[in-house]
Amino acid sequence: MRKFKNSKKKFIYLISPNKINNNNFFLHLEEIFKTKKISFFQLRLKKTTKKDILDIGKKIKKICIKYKVKFLINDDPFLAKKINADGCHIGQKDICIQKARKILPRKTIGITCHNSKKLIKKAIKDKADYIAIGAFFPSKTKKIKFRANLNLLKYAKKFTKIPIISIGGINLNNYKKLLLNKSNFLAISGYVWKNKKYKPREAVEKLI
């Protein structure tokens, strides 16, 4: 199990775009990391082959090491082990924390708890390294099945000291609400990678 802290500056938990198919992505990633605002980077490629994820992951790992960003793989602790990533993020339909911990001892393992107090309590009992809750806002990255509110964030912060990651539609217009309510990290994807107004680094720099 890895313990970690966030500073006010490094509050972003960056999630990859849904597809990575050109070298511009790696250039953008380095530029984003140079802002020193990113604590975690999660590789989330649902429709990419494991072989391609492995190749992409090895390139990303080198960049993460260079800029001291924790590198996590979505869903698959076996793949995280092959890449030697810093850990894995799992959903409620993925492998359980106990089994993931056996595959990745001493690594960071976080879990999605949607908008459920019951799942939050279970994640705490199972000794997750962090809890992701949301979605707080409408998102273009994935279909929203669960909507969370600030009361749930406040509940979670009172109930546990495990870091809380807020997810779902976070952008320039709403991110401060979550930080003001003491979310430890903000999971951001579409705002960075699909922003029609700003380039990826510029989008990140706007979050101060």
Interval 66-124: pLDDT, tens: 999 999 999 999 999 999 999 999 999 999 999 999 999 999 999 999 999 999 999 99
Residue 29 makes CB contacts below 8 A (sequence gap 6+) with: 41, 60, 63, 200
Four-point Cα dihedral 108, 95, 97, 90, nearest 10? 40
Amino acid at 83: I
Measured CA to CA, the distance from residue 163 to residue 131 in angstroms comes to 6
pLDDT band, residue 21 (cuts 50/70/90): confident
**Contact (Cβ atoms closer than 8 angstroms) between residue 117 and residue 155:** yes
Task: Please tell me the distance from the alpha carbon of residue 31 to that of residue 39, in angstroms, as a whole number.
Answer: 14
Query: Which domains are assigned to the chain?
Result: 12-205 (3.20.20.70)
